[in-house]
Amino acid sequence: MKVAFCTQDMKRVDAHFGWAKNIAIYEVTPDGSSFTEAIVFDGDLEEDGNEDKLAPKLEAIKDCAILYVAAIGGSGAARVVASKIHPIKVQEPEVIDDILLKLQGVLKGTPPPWLRKVLEKGQEKTFDFDEEEVNDA
């Protein structure tokens, strides 16, 4: 799964979604993680109620399952969730590599229900019917 991190320094989750200068994207599996890309944003990113600045960020993370942020506004969070991306707010700046290791550990075990749902993002739904049920129809 792809995971996005709002970051100013490319090392820690330390940025508000709307004001982030960078979004680092990683591919995460139970066995490891790899850096995919960094999307750099410039221009006026300050808090100003300008919702237009969110559109390029939402586009940049559209393939991601999880978004880590230091903070996110109500409308930004609603738009992220509407894009079927799970936002996670860190309480204080946290090192991206540490988060990646924790995520790998969770993926190796039994992920919580919300994460299992997130992992299904982009996968084709399959239905497992008992043969008897199909024949009775």
Residue 118 phi, psi (nearest 5): -60, -40
Q: How many angstroms separate the CA atoms of 41 and 25, rounded?
A: 14
Residue 124 has pLDDT above 60, yes or no: no
* Tens-digit pLDDT profile for residues 1-58: 999 999 999 999 999 999 899 999 999 999 999 999 999 988 654 545 555 778 999 9
Asked if 33 and 104 count as a contact pair (C-beta separation under 8 A), the reply is: yes
pTM strictly above 0.75 = yes
Query: Does residue 81 have a pLDDT over 90?
Result: yes
Pick from 58, 95, 51: nearest CA to 73: 51
Rounded Cα distance between 100 and 27, Å, is 9
